Structure 1
Amino acid sequence: MNDIPEKQIRAVHDEQTIRVYQAYSDTIADAALAAGTFVSPPFKMDRMTWIKPSFLWMMYRAGWGFKDAGQNRILAIDISREGFGWALEHSCPSHPDPSMSPEDWARLKAASPVRIQWDPERDLHHQPLAHRAIQIGLCGEAVRRYVDEWIIRITDVTSLAATIYSHVEVGDLAKARELLPDERPY
């Protein structure tokens, strides 16, 4: 029996921060790690950037860092809870409600610099689970706030991802689970 609600934010967090994940190329990751925030260029401030509190969903999206060179570095970004709250308060769904007119949808998107999407959470083999993981798309003002105000710390967790993946590959799921970040309800 699954006791996890269908939609629940689960993340590594403390009283000041919540951790999100992103995957980038070496160029973007190295610049961000050196500066303690994303640097433009090479990071593109004018594009939507998706942050993910779920480590396993990030591993699914980036193929454990092996999917392609543009996602070979997995970064853990600790952001302020205040910033995370702002993002949620200024969000809209990534897709319109079927009852919305195109005009209403356009107005809602224009007024919301953040998109929320709930996708099936993934297990260690990237199989979908019954509950969902939140993906948060930042654009415009939200990207500027993320880069300039919210980021507290950036950590490269690429080697952790590779280590967990190596245990999955040989079937040692107990060891892989032991190494997963402790994501608790937010």
Structure 2
Amino acid sequence: MELKLKKYREQLQDWPEKGHHIMAQYDDEKIIVYQSYRKEIGGFAVENQYFGGAFSLERMTWIKPNFLWMMYRNGWGRKEDQESVLAIHLKMEAFKKYLENAVYSSYNERLGISREKWQDQVKESSVRLQWDPDHDPFGNKLERRAIQIGLRNDFVKTFTKEDLILIEDISEFVKEQHQFVLNDDLDQLILPEEKSLLFDDEDLNKKLRLK
């Protein structure tokens, strides 16, 4: 496994408690995002290092750079059809392009545009942006917000192959770490090392409400 790992308790000391943050493992070249699928889709992706087979190009696919938020969504890989947990090493330039083209999935006056204008943008855009409450290892809601990005049309097509660097199956790692959660032993819990991401592009940071 090529993920960099660090004890949860150690990371917790450095993580922001509130606000909008893209918590992720990244460097200048790549960022790691997570998805969960049924084993047929996950197995194909890991074996072939691209998404194909039973993977649908017609549906919007959602990527999540925050590991614990993914664990909240997939029940630590225990939910039906989400047993195959993937760590997807994605080109940073592709991730940034997604966000530059993203439209918020719900309307808010803070967007600075009319509801009608937003509706037009949603129809035209192939990337959705959504902030949700982040969660701790037990699934408890936090004040910090976590991001997820929905891709469709041409963005799904590039995501499935040319935007990828590596696809890792981390299902067994997820099962192992979940045992510490079940045993209420967070001192032993190890997670992918994550930190808050800010871009050099201030306009993009402002759009994303990053601080």
Say whether the fold is shared (TM-score over 0.5).
yes
Deviations 1:36-79 (A, max 9, x none): 0101x3000010000000110110100001111x1011100010
| Match in the other structure for 1:54 | 66
2:183 is aligned to 170
Show the 5 A alignment for 1:1-186.
3-39=16-52, 41-68=53-80, 70-97=81-108, 100-101=114-115, 103-176=116-189, 179-186=190-197
| Structure 2 segments unaligned to the other structure (5+ residues) | 1-12, 198-211
* CA spacing shift, 1:127–1:45, aligned 2, 3 Å: same
Secondary structure, counterpart of 1:145 in structure 2: helix
Residue in structure 1 matched with residue 5 of structure 2 by the alignment: none
**Range with greater deviation from structure 2 (145-154 or 80-89):** 145-154
In the alignment of these two chains, the number of paired residues is 181
Amino acid in structure 2 at the alignment position of 1:161: V
Can you list the C-alpha shifts for 1:120-171, whole angstroms capped at 9, x where unaligned?
1110101011101100011111101111321110001111111111011111
Q: Secondary structure at the match of 1:19?
A: strand
Cα RMSD, aligned residues only:
1.6
Q: Assess, with a 3 A threshold, how the Cα gap between structure 1 residues 31 and 3 changes in structure 2: closer, same or farther.
A: closer
Q: Distance in 2 between matches of 1:63 and 1:115?
A: 23
Percent identity of paired positions between Structure 1 and Structure 2: 38
Measured at CA, do residues 3 and 11 of structure 1 come closer, stay the same or move farther in structure 2, by a change above 3 Å? Answer: closer
- Note the C-alpha offset of 1:106: 3.1
How far the C-alpha of 1:4 sits from its partner, in A, is 4.2
